[in-house]
Amino acid sequence: MGSIIEVQGVSKSFGALNVINDCSIAVEEGSITGLIGPNGAGKSTLFNLIAGTFPVSSGTIRFDGEDITNIPSNELFSKGLLRTFQIAQEFTHMTALENLMMVPPDQPGENLFNTWFRPKLVRSHEADVRQRALEVIDFIGLSHVKNELAGNLSGGQKKLLELGRTMMVNAKVVLLDEIAAGVNRTLLQDLVANIQRLNQEMGYTFLVIEHDMDMIAELCDPIIVLAQGSVMVEGTIEEIQNNPQVIEAYFGSDPNESGAANGTD
């Protein structure tokens, strides 16, 4: 289907520290692409560059054919490029349902003029947003906690809620940053199933940073391995697991002493 994200020769330095070095990757539209690498490889920095959080030092980033280099994250959000975080960013004192309803931008009720002089428009739009939020919260399996304050949800439920928030806008690509962190195995399976459904039924493209190699193996194809800020290798999970360079980067010269078989990091 072609690449929806293209990172071309991108570098990023923080003072004298070079974190990303002439890095080039392509994410195919409709794929669930994994991005892995040892600690300090530059994975989260690369995410921040793609998401517009950090400016690049050199190189270009294209999204859906458009040069988005150094475009801020709020503009990328409106274009359909979204990022989730290692720590879910919920509104703790609002219900799970209200959290979803807050996502769509430019709602009529945000305009004081509309609130005063066009109340029917505001109520109609809010009813539409609420209906969409109810559909989303049912999709992600959180209907039973829709009226619970988001701050009271478990870590896994918060991750599901954050995934649901991507469904409240017209997302094209979602960047998932260690979404499995702090999630129990039961809810992790719910997360995996929802990501697969969004990919297969709604055409979402995902780029996934994750240390849980079982999750990467179940979800991702292809997988890109980053080391020292550059791409080391790209391939299927079988190719990655059996690549001597990857084993060396993760575990040193003797993988048998380092848990290479189970993919610990």
Q: Residue 248, class by beta-carbon neighbours within 10 Å (0-12 exposed, 13-18 middle, 19+ buried)?
A: middle
Which range of 140-149, 162-171, 237-246 scores highest in mean pLDDT? It is: 140-149
How confident is the model over 209-250, as pLDDT tens digits?
A: 988 888 999 999 999 999 999 999 999 999 998 999 888 877
Range of the domain at 66: 3-90+153-262
∠67-44-1 over CA atoms, to 5°? 45
The reported pLDDT for the residue numbered 216 is 93
DSSP state of 113: H
Number of domains in the chain: 1
Count the Cβ atoms, other than its own, within 10 Å of residue 142.
21
Average pLDDT in the 10-35 region? 96
CATH number for the domain that contains residue 254: 3.40.50.300
Average pLDDT in the 135-162 region? 93
Residue 181 banded pLDDT, cuts 50, 70, 90: confident
> Does residue 103 register a pLDDT over 90?
no
Please give the mean pLDDT across all residues of the chain.
87
> Does residue 108 register a pLDDT over 80?
no
Strand segments (E) across the chain: 3-14, 17-28, 32-36, 58-63, 66-67, 81-83, 173-177, 205-209, 223-227, 230-235
How confident is the model over 71-101, as pLDDT tens digits?
A: 999 899 889 999 887 556 778 899 999 999 9
> What are the backbone angles phi and psi of residue 19, rounded to the nearest 5°?
-100, -40
Does any domain span residue 202? yes
> Does residue 114 register a pLDDT over 70?
no
The reported pLDDT for the residue numbered 117 is 67
Does any domain span residue 126? no
Least confident piece of the model among 43-47, 138-142, 184-188, 246-250: 246-250
> Does residue 129 register a pLDDT over 60?
yes
d(CA 171, CA 238): 30
The reported pLDDT for the residue numbered 252 is 64
Percent of the chain with pLDDT over 70: 86
Least confident piece of the model among 4-8, 10-14, 29-33, 200-204: 200-204
Cα distances (angstroms) measured from residue 9 to each of 59, 62, 64: 5, 12, 18
Count the Cβ atoms, other than its own, within 10 Å of residue 258.
13
Does any domain span residue 10? yes
Q: 226 — alpha (psi -120 to 50), left (phi > 0) or beta?
A: beta
Count the Cβ atoms, other than its own, within 10 Å of residue 157.
23
How confident is the model over 4-17, as pLDDT tens digits?
A: 999 999 999 999 99
> Does residue 23 register a pLDDT over 90?
yes
Does any domain span residue 140? no
Average pLDDT in the 110-134 region? 76
Does any domain span residue 165? yes
The reported pLDDT for the residue numbered 161 is 92
Does any domain span residue 30? yes
How confident is the model over 57-72, as pLDDT tens digits?
A: 999 999 999 999 999 9
Average pLDDT in the 27-50 region? 94
